[in-house]
Amino acid sequence: MNFKQLRIRAYLRGGVISDQFLPLDGILYYQAVRKQFGAQDATIPGASTVPEGANINLPIIHAGPKGDAWFYACSFAQWPARLVEDSSFKVKSGDWLREGEYLASGPKINTGSGKYKNYHIKLYYRHAIYVEWYCIGDPEEIKKLLDFCTHIGKNGGDGWGEVIRWEIQEWPEDWSIRGKDNKLMRAVPAKDSQFLYGIRPSYWLQKHIFPCKMPE
């Protein structure tokens, strides 16, 4: 692959439901899995949809120690100074309009408690004009994956995290792990740390979680 030092920027139409880290390699991994295995109609909580032994390798160089604690040379999200952090909510409820005939003839459904209770779910989001990352990767291969990435963060189906366009450009310095003034740009394994975090996608997998030194 044609690896280069890159800055990758997503211009946003609205807020993104995510923590501040939002790793780009996680976004790319999701697109790579869809490309290789197709869209998944359902997922199992705590389980991976990627078959055991499948080789999903992103177009980004590997970094870190040898062995299981390697990670991609790719920063976490870098947000601009002009940033809004706020909260919203969504309502979880049954689509009872589709069940009109059942409601007319069947028992009353209790939506105040129990299995069919309506919920107001709190959503925390970050809103900025753009968000960006730094990595050492193949720009053409990364572009092929991002061409199909229209939303980032959670609840994309509800319109959150919509990306207007992606911008990939070469960068004069390697800021994939440490940036300007030696700023730490992502989680790196550190045996003496008390902070546990994923180091590569899928970030929630137990085998990918290590004691890490984290960005401030």
Q: Is 69 found in the same domain as 25?
A: yes
* pLDDT tens, residue by residue, 157-194: 889 999 999 999 999 999 999 999 999 999 999 999 99
Both 8 and 103 in a single domain? no
pTM above 0.75, yes or no: yes
In this structure, are 28 and 108 located in the same domain?
A: no
Is residue 176 in some structural domain? yes
Single-letter code of the amino acid located at 106: G
Q: What spatial distance separates the first Cα and last Cα of the chain, rounded to whole Å?
A: 32
Residues 19 and 71 in one domain: yes
Q: Read off the DSSP letter of residue 21.
A: -
Does the pLDDT of residue 99 top 80, yes or no? no
For residue 210, tell me if it sits in a domain.
no
State the CB neighbour count (10 A cutoff) for residue 135.
33
Determine contact, residues 24/133, Cβ cutoff 8 Å.
yes
**Are 22 and 77 members of one domain?**
yes
Give the structural domain span for 102: 87-121
